[in-house]
Chain A
Amino acid sequence: MFEYDFMRNAFGAATLVALVAGCVGYFLVLRAQTFAGHALAHVGFAGATGAVLVGISPLWGMLLVTVAAGAGMGLLGERLEGRDVAIGIVLAVALALGLLFLHFYTSYAAQATALLFGNLLAVDRGTLAVLALLSAASLAALALLSRPLLFATLQPELAEAKGVSLRLVSVLFLMVVAVVTAESAQIVGVLLVFGLMIAPAAAAQRLCRTLQAGVLGSALFALLDAWLGLTAAYYTDWPSSFCIVAVGALTYLAAVLGAPRRS
């Protein structure tokens, strides 16, 4: 399996992304913000397809749009709560816009499936380098942010009284989420990021009682899910995204069955 260039690249990409997706996912689950990643991926789709239309690489187009949307979500903050209709419409419009952009750039239409569902086996060395950079930057940013982020999650009012700017922390965190979402979309596609970012992290969160264990567990589960999924895809010839998401879902199921519900 590892004799093949494309498999080595795929494992490399999966490793680089899963590590950071797990870490970010843990905080998303803890903050009950799991749909943020999901929403940002949808918006990113329009960014990716729009980018091709104007001649920029789809990855950078996705990054640009998701980071801007992440910052916007952070700034809007509590005004977004309970606005599921408005949010749902925005997501539908984003996907629809992406479709429109693809229509205008018909030679790119074949890429639609790859964008929506990922194409891990087509990752090249150039993309690998970019992913390495993005993962390193995201991990560093998350590390710096994690203390006030945790404080704001556990005790928002106390954190505010102690000088934490809840808005700033929220904006910065969602921008990191945006970058990691764009990375995850390269692995499992725009529509399936939940399976990579959230499922393993949610499983770890159920099983771990301390913060450190939770974050490490999330990263580990995400990594194992990605590797197992990729290996299964190699031997069965089924889509890698399906395998990764399926393993992720099974991981979460095992955690739910293994640990009783804690609220």
Chain B
Amino acid sequence: MSAVEFAGVTLTLAGRHILRDVDLAIEDAEFVGVLGPNGAGKTTLMRAILGLVAPSSGQIRVLGAPAVRGNPAIGYMPQIRSQAPIGGLRGWDFVAGAAAGHRWGVPIAGAAARREITWALEMVGARELAARVLAELSGGERQRLLLAQALLGRPRLLLLDEPLISLDPHHQRAVVELTRHLQRELRIAVLFSAHELNPLLEALDRVLYLGNGRVALGTVSEVITGPTLSRLYGSHIEVLHLHGRIFVMSGDLEIERDEHRHDERDHGGRGGGGARHRHHG
């Protein structure tokens, strides 16, 4: 059974076709890097799998069943963070807030929930972070708490929406390695979207590249080629290999690094009392 199946899926957002008649299948327990230019549909794709965006045509199946909102078998690390002043809360309370958080009632974790939260924190190596307040944690440490949240409920599919943003290379490596370790240990499928391919090269099994409403899914050597990417970008793309790294070039621009440079500003996100969604996907 595939973890995720798209059959003839068209996704439309604000009148624009994010995906047009797309077929794909993500297998169980595979690590797939999701790449593509800004606005290509990475976040929208994930939201569709989460059942938050309905396809205008076609069918999406997740773990054998139609995609539906609130699927407990999917773990999710969203891109946009709450801007609310929650920095005074402990790491534990932050993670615990997501444990069965969709049910009505008082947010007091019972024994079973506490065991689950402890397990999730241990899996990501964040036991000692739990006692500290969020404001004291670094970006990489907070990322681990977000990962712990995503693991609550023992998901079989993990969606990570641009977890590497605003992390320095050392922490980027740590997050990728941790995710790969979790993926292998728990035998779950992982969709990990990112701006750049290189941080993911060692970890991924396949690449899902989005562009111009189309996708290319396959190994790095199948997908990251000039002809394939030129089709997806709609312009002439060259792929250079250097010292085990891959550089995707459009003329003089290293396309992945430069296209996304302005995003650091955009990804501040907005939250506060309500949730404001900014989908670059």
Interface string of A144-159 (1 = CB under 8 A from B): 1111101111111111
| Complex interface residues of chain B between 61 and 109 (CB less than 8 A to chain A) | 69-70, 72, 74, 76-90, 92-94, 97-98, 100-108
A152 to B150, CA, bound (A): 15
Contact A210 B93 (CB under 8 A): yes
| A161 proximal to B (CB < 8 A) | yes
| A31 proximal to B (CB < 8 A) | yes
Name the residue of chain B whose CB is nearest to the CB of A151.
Answer: B101
A76 to B85, CA, bound (A): 22
Instruction: Tell me, rounded to whole Å, the shortest Cβ–Cβ distance linking B100 to chain A.
Output: 7
Q: Which of B189-197, B251-259, B265-273 contacts A (4 or more CB under 8 A)?
A: B265-273
Instruction: Tell me, rounded to whole Å, the shortest Cβ–Cβ distance linking B118 to chain A.
Output: 16
| A36 proximal to B (CB < 8 A) | yes
Instruction: Tell me, rounded to whole Å, the shortest Cβ–Cβ distance linking A213 to chain B.
Output: 10
| A263 proximal to B (CB < 8 A) | yes
| A29 proximal to B (CB < 8 A) | yes
A146 to B70, CA, bound (A): 19
A152 contacts across to B, CB distance below 8 A: 275
| A143 proximal to B (CB < 8 A) | yes
Contact B98 A162 (CB under 8 A): yes
A166 to B70, CA, bound (A): 13
Interface string of A203-246 (1 = CB under 8 A from B): 00110111110100000000000000000000000000000000
| B25 proximal to A (CB < 8 A) | no
Contact A209 B273 (CB under 8 A): no
A81 contacts across to B, CB distance below 8 A: 270, 272, 274, 276
Contact A156 B85 (CB under 8 A): no
Query: Chain A contact residues: over half helix, strand or loop, or mixed?
Result: helix
Instruction: Tell me, rounded to whole Å, the shortest Cβ–Cβ distance linking B242 to chain A.
Output: 37
Residue among A144, A161, A170, A210 with the most chain B CB within 10 A? A161
| B186 proximal to A (CB < 8 A) | no
A262 to B137, CA, bound (A): 11
- Determine the interface band of chain B, counting residues with CB < 8 A from chain A: 35 or more
| A72 proximal to B (CB < 8 A) | no
Instruction: Tell me, rounded to whole Å, the shortest Cβ–Cβ distance linking A171 to chain B.
Output: 11
Contact A33 B102 (CB under 8 A): no
A158 to B86, CA, bound (A): 16
Contact B88 A161 (CB under 8 A): no
Contact A157 B102 (CB under 8 A): no
Contact A150 B88 (CB under 8 A): no
| B181 proximal to A (CB < 8 A) | no
A218 to B88, CA, bound (A): 14
| B223 proximal to A (CB < 8 A) | no
Contact B88 A262 (CB under 8 A): yes
Contact B85 A146 (CB under 8 A): no
Q: Check A211/B107 contact, CB under 8 A, given A151-B98, A161-B74, A205-B88.
A: yes
| A110 proximal to B (CB < 8 A) | no
A147 to B135, CA, bound (A): 22
A235 to B167, CA, bound (A): 59
Contact A170 B88 (CB under 8 A): no
| A78 proximal to B (CB < 8 A) | yes
Instruction: Tell me, rounded to whole Å, the shortest Cβ–Cβ distance linking B165 to chain A.
Output: 14
A152 to B77, CA, bound (A): 14
Instruction: Tell me, rounded to whole Å, the shortest Cβ–Cβ distance linking A211 to chain B.
Output: 5
Interface string of A34-50 (1 = CB under 8 A from B): 00100000000000000
Residue among B72, B77, B86, B108 with the most chain A CB within 10 A? B86
| B277 proximal to A (CB < 8 A) | yes
Contact A263 B87 (CB under 8 A): yes
| Complex interface residues of chain A between 7 and 51 (CB less than 8 A to chain B) | 29-33, 36
Q: Check A78/B276 contact, CB under 8 A, given A155-B98, A262-B133.
A: yes
B274 contacts across to A, CB distance below 8 A: 77-78, 81, 156, 166, 170
A263 contacts across to B, CB distance below 8 A: 85, 87, 135
Q: Check A148/B104 contact, CB under 8 A, given A154-B97, A157-B80, A158-B78.
A: yes
Instruction: Tell me, rounded to whole Å, the shortest Cβ–Cβ distance linking A217 to chain B.
Output: 11
A148 to B274, CA, bound (A): 13
| A163 proximal to B (CB < 8 A) | yes
A232 to B135, CA, bound (A): 38
Contact A210 B89 (CB under 8 A): yes
Q: Check A148/B102 contact, CB under 8 A, given A32-B272, A163-B70, A262-B135.
A: yes
| B217 proximal to A (CB < 8 A) | no
CB < 8 Å neighbour of A32 from B80, B84, B92, B275: B84
Q: List 7 A-B contacts (CB under 8 A).
A: A30-B86, A32-B272, A143-B105, A155-B78, A205-B88, A211-B107, A212-B108
Question: Closest 3 CB pairs between A and B?
Answer: A163-B70, A156-B275, A151-B101
Query: Beyond the given A161-B69, A161-B76, A263-B85, could you list 9 further A-B residue pairs with CB under 8 A, ordered by the A residue number?
Result: A32-B84, A153-B82, A155-B149, A156-B271, A157-B277, A158-B98, A159-B98, A214-B89, A262-B135
